Structure formats: structure tokens, C-alpha cells
Structure 1
């Protein structure tokens, strides 16, 4: 899942042909500067799940890995375990290997870049295990944050050269060469490592320390043009693994999130963040009653000055936004709670991975109408899904 929205993108997720970086997105949202929304909103906690610290994904399109690993860390807390700061770039690195295999298999007819989906975190965890951040930080050439522009350009050039080779037949060495390039940029993965006085492999660490069972998790989408309560193809460009997801109605989105949070389960959340009514700096996102294009200058200035009336999302408008590229799968975050404003309206507490860089120290508050309209996928423990929704 990349996170700088461009025009003319396929379906929900941005094309991953070019690298999309956090600093680019923040620049694109600078029109929504802080007007001290913290003074206009008075939030009272309803549900506030314990989670780990806010991280910073830097200049890399790895929001899906940061939100997905934060989700796993929060699951450890829910299970009564001491949470581990998991290595997001280990997950991303393994994903790049799997994606490269599919890229070559598809003769280059697959998007390339940092982009991924929440299910990639669970899939990689199941196959490759996990590493603690202290063992693998992915910072192998002197930077203090991720900077993946050069790496991804180089990797794509390498893969395109493999696909276009003149031999007429691939050698078995290209994967080794590709992995060596990853090692150069991100560092080699240890076969074994010490953690708190014990030796682990990535697989044994996942099993013995993290303890999360990958098969316990479900990814959900909401397409009104596909059968409900069945697994359907997740029709987005960054679904490089061609996974399916469980299709539910629009109202099931918030019903599922509410049920999960109240039972102690956090939710991985993929969404569109490029609209004018999403303000990272102010830490507020909602669905305004009046379209931004029809607002007066004063209304635009006051968008985040306090609670506002909202438009009611409908399945028809949601599907239309998906079909006409108004909704694209820009970003992934984690929903960890519910608050009420001074008018008793509920908002979700959302944990981001852009560092402590906004008015709410790395968190934001999002209305349910926004979530109904703009959600592109959810990931959560199956036990967090209402039984009447999980029908198969």
C-alpha cells in the first residue's frame, strides 16, 4: 500500500511502479495546516486499547508493514505477552523477495515498488517468521530513517533486465543476485540470533516469543458489485499476491470494528487519505455535509475547528468512489479505540506510522462516516468479527 495519491490510478491502491514516500504525502497535505483542532474538539475515551509506541516509516512506502506489525505487537499485549518491537523492514524485505518471484513469473506485468497489503504481514509472518527491531533495523548505509528511493529504482531495473534477458531461458541465479542486492541495502538476515539470553531463528522467534497464530486472522473488503459473505478477489494493484478477502456490506465495516474494539481486539485499517477532509496535521478526518468544491472560503478555513455535520455514506456512493478512482488505497494504519466528542458523536482512535508529527502525537480521530466511505480493507482476529457477519 503506497501513500501518495496520484490521479488516474487503478482501482483502490496506488500504482507501485514509482516509489511513494511519506514526506511526499505530507507535502501534499500541507493545505490542511493545523488550526489547533485540539482546542475545538473535546474527546472522551470510550475504548482505548493498549498498544506499542508510534513508529516512523520514513521515506518508504511500507505503511502496510508498520501498521501490520503494530497490529501484531498489540495482539501480543491482548494475549498477555510482553510485546516486542518487531522489525517492520524484515517483513518488507521478505515481501520484496516474494513479490520479485511473482514479478518475473508475470513477465514484468505486475506493479513494482514498496507497496503491499495488510495480509502480506500475516503471510510473511507465517512463512518467514519475525525478527525484533534490535536485530534487524534495515538501516544498512548510514541513514537514521528508511530511504528506499534508490533501492527500489535499482531493484526494478534489475528485475526488468531479468525479464528482458536475451538467453531465452532464466537461470536459477537471479533470485540469489536479487537477494544480494537487498542485503546490500537493508542488511543480511541472521540465520540465528540472541534475544534475552536465548538463541532463535526467525521462525522459532515467531512461534515461541510472538506466539500469534497467522491462521486466526481475516482480511475484509466491501464491494457492492461482488457477492457478500464470500471470499472475493481483492481487486487492487498492490495485491501482488492475488489474495482474496471476505466481502461484507458497508455497514458491516463499522459493526465489525465496534465489536472488535469492545472485545479488546484492534483492527488493521487500509484507507484513502488524500481527500481535503482528511487532515493529518489536525488529526481529524470526517465526511463533510458539503462537498469541498462547494464550500465557501470561510467554510474551508473552519473545516477542522470543531465538530461538523456530516454527509451519510451510502453503499452506492462508496462503490462509485471506488470505481472512478476517487477512493484509492493510499495508506494503512491501526484502529485502537473509540472516543466521543462534546456532542456525543463517536470517532475511532487511529495509530499512524508517520512519527510524532501532528497535533495528536502520531494519532488521529476519524468519524464512522469517513470509515464507511473510505475504508478499502480491514484485518483483524476472527474472534473480533460478529458471528452474524462471519458466515463462512
Structure 2
């Protein structure tokens, strides 16, 4: 009997030993601005990309500047409306966007600090675009077949009423700027940013327009094999560059509550893996492609990679700054496993200088 009890105790000890709670250790941690909330809006694309630009300013100048996310949104909606109406309704119109939309907005209209344009109006203290989006959708759909002469002015009026009037001049730290001169002051080189992806339906080491609904601007992506895609992220972080991320967060194992994003090898582990180390899937290029083509991987949410961690077993995770506020696990950061990144990352935007020289040459990035 003693021997049997001892064996049972040993089994229980082994089980509890295998069920290890996550213990994370920092590998790389790059300075970034604090986590903020996008509120009840679909503007993660601007929060992700703006945070990325803020980190670039920190990297190059040491200055921490709180840039306005909503200034980019304010100048992107008219482009979306134009695209939808001029294509007579045969296009996407919604809140979503991609990293290059912020770069395009900044190139055209400059950037401003949060203090110059908050995007809040009518006494708001948090973002809620539900009413504004409904008004814009009603307007563009009504003009998709027979546009009124003043539809663009009506779009601007809706944006002004819900977000505040556009800003053309402002004072920051005692100096007067325009959005373009403020951009120049930051030293950002917007043409240095490139977007990279990894899919097999188009040739590797070429560029193509990725067919996802939010790519209303028909942005071009560099296409590379999956292992090189991961290397782009790792190389950037190792060199002190952060990475803007477009990913699928619809998985039950992407959790703001526990602060992890993981891909369990066994579906039965889907709940336990949120708090305990469990085996994860071996993600291949073929599996990634299949999940993209069957819509199990979709363009859901954009975030900002600012570091790397590892658990006590040596598994690698990426420190991802989210835009759901800081009152969640890890202060609003998600620890995303390598398998999750390989399977669910649609694309990343990086500074071209962070990319390995041989790959840059192969992609003909000057």
C-alpha cells in the first residue's frame, strides 16, 4: 500500500511539475511611449503606427513626444470616402486601416502632437466613433451612384463635428509649428519605412498588393519566406528598432486578460495555456498559407512590437504594445509567442535600415 501511495504522490508531483505557470524574463526591451486606449473605435492602425513613429523619435533623438493618433484618422477618412464613392460603392469603407495609411497621411499632411489635436469633442473624455462612422457610411453610400457636388464638404463637416476642426498651426514647447514643420522637427524619414509579409500565392522577393479588406490604399508589400520574415523582426529588435505589427487576434488564445498570445498544439489546452506553459504548434509556411486562405487568419488588429522575452523553458515571446488601455495584464502589453507570430502576423512595418543588408539587396530596397 505504501508503495502504491508513493507512486501516486510521484505522479501528482510530476503533473504539477509539468503545469508550470509562466515566468517571463526580459531579453530585449526598447523604449516606447505609454500604453493608451483607442476606446470604442476601429482605429488600431493609427495607434499602432503612431506608437511606432513615437518610438522612432525616441530612438533617433531621445525625445518622448506624444503624437496625435486622431490627426491621422481625421485625414484618412476623406481618402476612404473618395475611394468608396469614385468606385461607385464597389470598395471597402469602414474604420479599419493599415500601417501605411499613417505614413501616407503624414507624407501628405504632416503630424501634430496630442496637445494640438486630441480628436475629442463635445466634452468627450474617451474615444467613441460609433455615431460618426454611421453618419459617414450613410453619406458615402448615398453618394456612391450619383454624387452630390458638395459631398466632400459634408464629409469634412461630419469629421469636424465629431473630432474637432482640422489644425493648421499650433504652439508646442513655446514654438509655433505647422503640421509639416512639426514633422520636419521630429527628424522622421517617412520614406524609410517598408512593409513585409510572407505568403506563397505570390513570388518571394517581390512586391505585391495584399488582398485584404482594409488595404483600401492598395499598399504594396515585400514578400519573403517565413523564416526570413521572423528574422526581419528579430534583427530589428536586436538593433534597437521597434516593429509595427498587423495580426489576427480572433483566437481564444489571444488574451488581454492574461496578457499572452499563444497557439496550443492541442485544442484541449486552449484554456490552460493562457496561464501555463503548454506545447505549441509547429507553424510551417504551408500551414500559415492555408489558414490565411480559409480565413482562419484575417486582418484583425494592429499593434507595436517593442521587445522580446523568454519563459523558464527558453521559449521566445514578443513584447507587443496594445491599444486597449493599461488596465489589463502586463500593463497593456501582450506577450506573443513565436508560433503565434509565425501563424497570425499578417505583416510588419520596419525601418529599412533594420533589415539585413543581403535581404535588402535581394529585395532591391535602396
C-alpha deviations, 1:178-199, integer Å up to 9, x for none? 1111111100012211111111
152, 156, 173: which one aligns with 1:196: 173
The structure carrying a bigger helix percent of its residues is 2
Q: For this pair of structures, how many residues does the alignment match? A: 343
Which residue number corresponds to residue 359 of structure 1?
329
Which residue number corresponds to residue 373 of structure 1?
343
Which residue number corresponds to residue 57 of structure 1?
38
Is the 1:248–1:389 Cα contact (8 Å) retained in structure 2? no
Which residue number corresponds to residue 93 of structure 1?
74
C-alpha deviations, 1:231-257, integer Å up to 9, x for none? 111110110111111111111221111
List runs of 5+ in structure 2 lacking aligned partners.
1-19
C-alpha deviations, 1:254-301, integer Å up to 9, x for none? 1111000000000001100111221121111112111x2xx1xxx444
1:265 to 2:241 alignment: yes
Over the aligned positions, Cα root-mean-square deviation in angstroms equals: 1.3
Which residue number corresponds to residue 311 of structure 1?
281
| More RCO (CA 8 Å, sep 6+) | 1
1:215 to 2:191 alignment: yes
- What SS does the corresponding residue of 1:251 show, helix, strand or coil? helix
Is the 2:253–2:271 Cα contact (8 Å) retained in structure 1? no
Is the 2:252–2:270 Cα contact (8 Å) retained in structure 1? no
- State the 1:170 CA deviation: 5.0
1:321 to 2:291 alignment: yes
Which residue number corresponds to residue 214 of structure 2?
238
1:386 to 2:361 alignment: no
1:139 to 2:120 alignment: yes
Which residue number corresponds to residue 206 of structure 1?
183
- What SS does the corresponding residue of 1:361 show, helix, strand or coil? helix
List runs of 5+ in structure 1 lacking aligned partners.
1-38
1:163 to 2:144 alignment: yes
- State the 1:221 CA deviation: 1.4
C-alpha deviations, 1:14-38, integer Å up to 9, x for none? xxxxxxxxxxxxxxxxxxxxxxxxx
- What SS does the corresponding residue of 2:318 show, helix, strand or coil? strand
1:330 to 2:306 alignment: no
Give, in whole Å, the separation in 2 of the partners of 1:348 and 1:300: 19
Name the TM-score, length of structure 2 as normaliser: 0.91
Which moved further from structure 2: 178-187 or 69-78?
178-187
Which residue number corresponds to residue 4 of structure 2?
none
Name the TM-score, length of structure 1 as normaliser: 0.85
> Within 5 Å, which residues of 2 pair with 1:101-180?
101-165=82-146, 170-171=148-149, 173-180=150-157
Is the 1:41–1:307 Cα contact (8 Å) retained in structure 2? yes
1:74 to 2:55 alignment: yes
- What SS does the corresponding residue of 1:364 show, helix, strand or coil? strand
1:274 to 2:255 alignment: no
Give, in whole Å, the separation in 2 of the partners of 1:100 and 1:346: 42
C-alpha deviations, 1:21-80, integer Å up to 9, x for none? xxxxxxxxxxxxxxxxxx921111111001100010000000010010000000001102
- What SS does the corresponding residue of 1:317 show, helix, strand or coil? helix
- State the 1:98 CA deviation: 1.1
Is the 1:67–1:334 Cα contact (8 Å) retained in structure 2? yes
Is the 1:348–1:367 Cα contact (8 Å) retained in structure 2? yes
Give, in whole Å, the separation in 2 of the partners of 1:112 and 1:225: 26
Give, in whole Å, the separation in 2 of the partners of 1:300 and 1:44: 23
Which residue number corresponds to residue 41 of structure 1?
22
Is the 2:39–2:128 Cα contact (8 Å) retained in structure 1? yes
- What SS does the corresponding residue of 2:348 show, helix, strand or coil? strand
- What SS does the corresponding residue of 2:123 show, helix, strand or coil? coil
147, 158, 161: which one aligns with 1:184: 161
- What SS does the corresponding residue of 1:133 show, helix, strand or coil? coil
- Find the structure with the greater CA-based Rg: 2
Give, in whole Å, the separation in 2 of the partners of 1:370 and 1:385: 22
- State the 1:107 CA deviation: 0.8
